[in-house]
Amino acid sequence: MQKLILAFVLFAFIACDDKPSGKILSASSGALNNLTVVMPNDMWEGPVGESIREKLAGPVNGLPQVEPMFAINQMPSEAFSGFMRKQRTFLKIEQADSASIEVVNDEYARPQTGILVKGPTESAIINIIQQDSAKIVNTIKETEFTEKIRRVSLSLKEDKPLTDAFGITMKFPSAYRYAKDDDGFFWIRKDIPNGDMNITVYEVPYNMIDRDSNTIGSLIKMRDSIGGDNITVSEGMRFITEAAFAPYLSETTIDGKPAYQMKGMWEVKGRYMAGPFVNFTVDDKENDRYLVLEGFVFKPSANKRDNIFELESILRSVKFVDKTE
């Protein structure tokens, strides 16, 4: 009897410690890149909803087809209960006396990220959405990158060849294969229906990238030169950046190191083959080099958002380690 009482006390303690309310949180659910928006129906159909759709359902940069950043499912507050509260990400819009934006974690499930936007008027709410849209998008994206890598980690490919060659680890599924390892150029591939997904990893000298006047030009020149020399295509053809589609360039970090992120389109010159790519050129000053991480997709006449999202998640999982570890 004493053992049963002790077990019950321990269970109660754990349950109360799990959440201040005393509830045990169940696992969150939902497809990747799906966002639940909780707000009144009439507000969704008006200017506030239009502002949310503009900022959160706009097209993803660098894709040949128009595909939304997030698939949005809107519901009123009274419908946001029970199982619906288990969604991994949600944005909740409420009217309140003062304007505010707050990020809440694991409110109804785990892992879960919620963003609460409040304001006294619709204009005030719209103003928050417009001003803080980048924060909202980045918060949701980070949640989804983390979830994707959690799923990827269930069945990982051995990455020791990358550690030996470049001093990095990278989490990618066992469905990928090493297609090429030649003179410091790695080409990793996965077959998908009617196409394939690809990762390349290599390093370039620190003086190869122009950091001042024409950064994007030198990045394109780099990938066209090294990628063109190493990605096998038919004789007389070449794997290059599509000239008619100007890449998007931004700055980010990979494992705390500054990096250029470039999103654009690749093509095989001389053949009707093309698709999107995401490229990270990481400033690895300690090793006097740039480490180049790229993912690209060939999947003609089909949506590619989720493929590029998987590749970007994998590349963002890179960690720098000592090669001798």
Percent of the chain with pLDDT over 70: 92
CB atoms within 10 A of CB 58: 14
Please check the confidence at residue 5 and state whether its pLDDT lies above 60: no
Percent of the chain with pLDDT over 90: 79
Per-residue pLDDT of 16-66, as tens digits, reads: 344 445 568 899 999 999 999 999 999 999 999 999 999 999 999 899 889
All domains of the chain in start order, with CATH: 2-151 (3.30.379), 155-320 (3.40.1000.10)
Mean pLDDT of the residues in the chain = 90
Per-residue pLDDT of 71-107, as tens digits, reads: 999 999 999 999 999 999 999 999 999 999 999 999 9
Please check the confidence at residue 244 and state whether its pLDDT lies above 90: no
Please check the confidence at residue 321 and state whether its pLDDT lies above 80: yes
Per-residue pLDDT of 297-309, as tens digits, reads: 999 989 999 999 9
Rounded mean pLDDT, 262-281: 92
Q: Which residue has the tokens 């038919």?
A: 234
pLDDT for 22 equals 56
The tokens describing 3, both together, are 């053992």
Per-residue pLDDT of 307-320, as tens digits, reads: 999 999 999 999 99
Tell me the pLDDT band of 12, cut-offs 50, 70 and 90. Answer: very low
Residue type, position 202, single letter: Y
pTM: 0.88
pLDDT for 37 equals 98
3-class SS string, the chain: CHHHHHHHHHHHHHHHHHCCCCCCCEECECCCCEEEEECCHHHHCCHHHHHHHHHHCCECCCCCCCCECCEEEEECHHHCCHHHHHECEEEEEEECCCCEEEEEECCCEECCEEEEEEECCHHHHHHHHHHCHHHHHHHHHHHHHHHHHHHHCCCECCCHHHHHHHCEECCCECCCEEEEEECCEEEEEEEECCEEEEEEEEEEEHHHCCCCCCHHHHHHHHHHHHHHHHCCCCCCCEEEECCCCCCEEEEEEECCEEEEEEEEEEEEECCCCEEEEEEEEEEEHHHCEEEEEEEEEECCCCCCHHHHHHHHHHHHCCEECCCCC
pLDDT for 15 equals 40
